[in-house]
Amino acid sequence: MALLTILEFPDPRLRKEALPITDVDDSIRQLADDMLETMYDAPGIGLAAPQIGVMDRLIVLDCVKEDGEELRPLVMFNPVVVAASDEVNVYEEGCLSIPEQYGEVTRPEVVDVEWMDRDGNAQRERFDGLWATCVQHEIDHLDGKLFIDHLKPLRRQMITRKMQKLKREMARK
């Protein structure tokens, strides 16, 4: 197992579209396990492959938040939202690639997602609550989309400028 480095906005790799996975083999299963370890360590509730610089359509998530409740690590290859409710939900989202910045994002409250699991089997499940928010946030990463793209222009600009300034300061150190 290995901890991976999480890319930070405005890294251009976060804006690229990831490619479909054709073969679920041991190397991609190992990558998924390393991503889960990295996500739990961060700590976070989700992680998408482009966030660690791998342009494959792979996400991991576990939105179990209660202490003592059994973990539910999910690994999804080629996830797709196949149905979404008209009802929406507003959640103050964060992102491991945009540290310490938050914003209210409106998304469908309930989504049906299809994906391929670690054994190459097709899966379909309905998600609601934080699971629905998180799976949509992670699938957005696969299309080069970030939660700030859902915010009002002024808030998005504020976060973008803060992150650009932080990057310049880090480069000077």
10 upstream amide cis, omega within 30 of 0: yes
CA-to-CA distance for 59 and 75, rounded, in angstroms?
A: 6
Indicate the burial class of 90 (C-beta count within 10 angstroms; 0-12, 13-18, 19 or more): exposed
What residue type is assigned to position 71 of the chain? L
Scanning 16-24, 54-62, 67-75, 92-100 for contacts with Zn ion by CB under 5 A, the matching segment is: 92-100
In the numeric block, which tokens belong to residue 137?
Answer: 């946030």
Minimum distance of ligand K1U from residue 43's CB (angstroms): 4
Of residues 91-150, which lie at the interface with ligand K1U (CB under 6 A)? 91, 93-97, 133-134, 137-138
Residues in the interface with ligand K1U (CB under 6 A) total: 17
Least distance in angstroms from the C-beta of 87 to ligand K1U? 18
Span near ligand K1U by CB under 6 A; candidates 26-34, 86-94, 114-122, 149-157: 86-94
The residue type of 61 is L
DSSP string, 43-91: T-SEEEGGGGT--BSEEEE----STTSPP--EEEEEEEEEEE-SSEEEE
Q: Which does 43 bind (CB under 5 to 8 A by kind): ligand K1U, Zn ion, none?
A: ligand K1U
92 is catalytic: no
The reply on whether position 95 binds Zn ion by CB under 5 A is yes
Least spacing, CB of residue 59 vs ligand K1U, in Å: 8
Residues that bind Zn ion (CB under 5 A): 95
Residues that bind ligand K1U (CB under 6 A): 43-48, 65, 91, 93-97, 133-134, 137-138
